[in-house]
Every structure is written in C-alpha cells, then in structure tokens.
Amino acid sequence: MKKAISRQNRGGRRQRPEHPKRYLAAALLTAMAVHLALLSGSCFVTFLQPAFLIRECEKSGVAAERGLDENEMKSVIHLIYRYIYGREARLEATVRINGVPTDFFTGRDQVHMKDVRHLMQGLIILFCVTTAGSVFGICVLHRKGAERLLLREWLICLAVLIVLLAAVGIYAAADTWDFEYKFHALFFPNNNCWILNPAEDHMIWLFPDAMFMDAILLCGGVFAALEAAFGGLLAARRKTAGKA
C-alpha cells in the first residue's frame, strides 16, 4: 500500500520513475548512435549515389566542355560508384575525348579512389554499428520506461551537433576551396594523390566546384528531415507512455 502511494503525488498523478545512472549513460550513447546513424545514412541516400553526380555533371555541362560522350560519362560515373562500394575490382575505362579513345583514369586517379574506397568501407561499418546500437539501445530503454531520458539526451546531442554542422557549413560557404583542401587533407593524409590536375587527371572533371556545396545542402536537408521524424516519434511515444 505504501509503495503504491509513494508513486503518486498529491494530485493523484504518477511521478516519473527515477532511473539509475547506468540508464543515463545508455540514453546518451543511444542518442549519439542515432545521430551518427542518421547522418551517415543521409550521406548514402544523397550524394553517395551515382544519380547525384550525373545530375551535377549535367547541370555544369561537363560532357560538352570536356569533349566527352554523354553516355560514356554516365558509364564512368556508375563505374566509380561500383568501385568505391566494392562491387568492381578494377577502375579502368576507355572513353572518347574529343573523338580520341583515351584511358580515362590516370595513375593518380586510381590511387586516390583506392583511398576513397577504404574510407567508404569505414563509413559503411559506422552506419551498421550505429544503426544496430540505436535499435538495441532504444529497445532496452523502452523496456525500462526511460523514453524521457532518451528524448532529453537526444535533444542535447542534437543541439551540439547543430552547432558543429552550422560552423562547418558557414566555413564551407565562406571559403569552399579551402574547405575542400582541408577536408581531403584530413581524410587522406597518407599521400597527396587527391590533388588532381584537370589538365592531366580526367576524373576531377566529374566533380564540378558547385557539387561539394550541393552535396552539403542536400545531405543536410535529408538529415534534418530524418532527425525531425525521429524526434516526433520519440516525443509521441513519450506522450503516450505518460498517459498510460
């Protein structure tokens, strides 16, 4: 009887249960995993698809400017994505440049894309691990009735992430070239094969300057939509649990 009374306040409403500190840690880790899963997932469904790069090249008129056949350009782009996803063993293609058959990928292109494939494998692992961790953490916290903790930690992590992404976005918009340089230097520190010369290295033709900012904006929009959907579901679940 005393136990039942202690769970109610003077107005007869149930008080929120006090969760141990381990649930707080679990909520924080789950919230971080959710954000990383949604962010990496946003990358996969936006600019890490060949349709995005094809659209950017068509918008910039790459084929006409560089003397490439439109269909051959699209085939090369599809080859690049198959390669970085590990579905193609070699990165080799012969295309006509101003009517002259030419090996499209130079030695520097191939070395750099090998590094990109390794980076992609790490991103895939990150997405899988954080997605699995998110599902597991949400299930555990749900069983313990700790949705309120998860919502709070999710909001805190989201606020921090928004500040960081906003800072990166402002920096990228202010100096796109310097942002691209430092981005590549950070993720490809083992060599400088990511520094490509358009006069010699053909692959850089397929990555117009506007593409990088478009990728950031598109990925950011999808990420924001996914975060809003997840936050809405979490808030609705908490409201439903509070009425139970």
Task: Give per-residue pLDDT as tens, 190-206.
Answer: 888 999 899 999 999 99
- Kindly state whether residue 166 falls inside one of the protein's structural domains: yes
Least confident of 40-49, 92-101, 115-124, 163-172: 163-172
Segments forming the whole domain that contains residue 89: 29-239
- Kindly state whether residue 14 falls inside one of the protein's structural domains: no
Output the pLDDT for position 242.
Answer: 56
- Kindly state whether residue 4 falls inside one of the protein's structural domains: no
pLDDT: which is higher, 113 or 12: 113
- Kindly state whether residue 11 falls inside one of the protein's structural domains: no
Q: With 80 as the cut, is the pLDDT of residue 17 above it? A: no
- Kindly state whether residue 88 falls inside one of the protein's structural domains: yes
Output the pLDDT for position 2.
Answer: 42
Q: With 90 as the cut, is the pLDDT of residue 238 above it? A: no
Least confident of 125-129, 196-200, 237-241: 237-241
Split at pLDDT 50, 70, 90, the class of 20 is low
- Kindly state whether residue 171 falls inside one of the protein's structural domains: yes
Q: What is the mean pLDDT of the chain?
A: 87
Q: With 80 as the cut, is the pLDDT of residue 22 above it? A: no
Q: Average pLDDT in the 11-28 region? A: 67
Number of domains in the chain: 1
Per-residue pLDDT tens for 55-66? 999 999 999 999
pLDDT: which is higher, 216 or 31: 31
Identify the burial level of 88 via C-beta atoms within 10 angstroms of its C-beta, where 0-12 means exposed, 13-18 middle and 19 or more buried: middle
Q: With 90 as the cut, is the pLDDT of residue 29 above it? A: yes
Output the pLDDT for position 175.
Answer: 86
- Kindly state whether residue 190 falls inside one of the protein's structural domains: yes
Output the pLDDT for position 7.
Answer: 44
The DSSP string of the chain is: -HHHHHTB-TTSPBPPPPPPHHHHHHHHHHHHHHHHHHHHHHHHHTTTSHHHHHHHHHHHTHHHHHTB-HHHHHHHHHHHHHHHTTS-S----EEEETTEEEE---HHHHHHHHHHHHHHHHHHHHHHHHHHHHHHHHHHHHHTT-HHHHHHHHHHHHHHHHHHHHHHHHHHHH-HHHHHHHHHHHH-TT-STT---TTT-SGGGGS-HHHHHHHHHHHHHHHHHHHHHHHHHHHHHHHHHHH-
Per-residue pLDDT tens for 75-98? 999 999 999 999 999 999 999 999
- Kindly state whether residue 49 falls inside one of the protein's structural domains: yes
Contact 34, 134 (CB under 8 A): yes
pTM across the whole model: 0.83
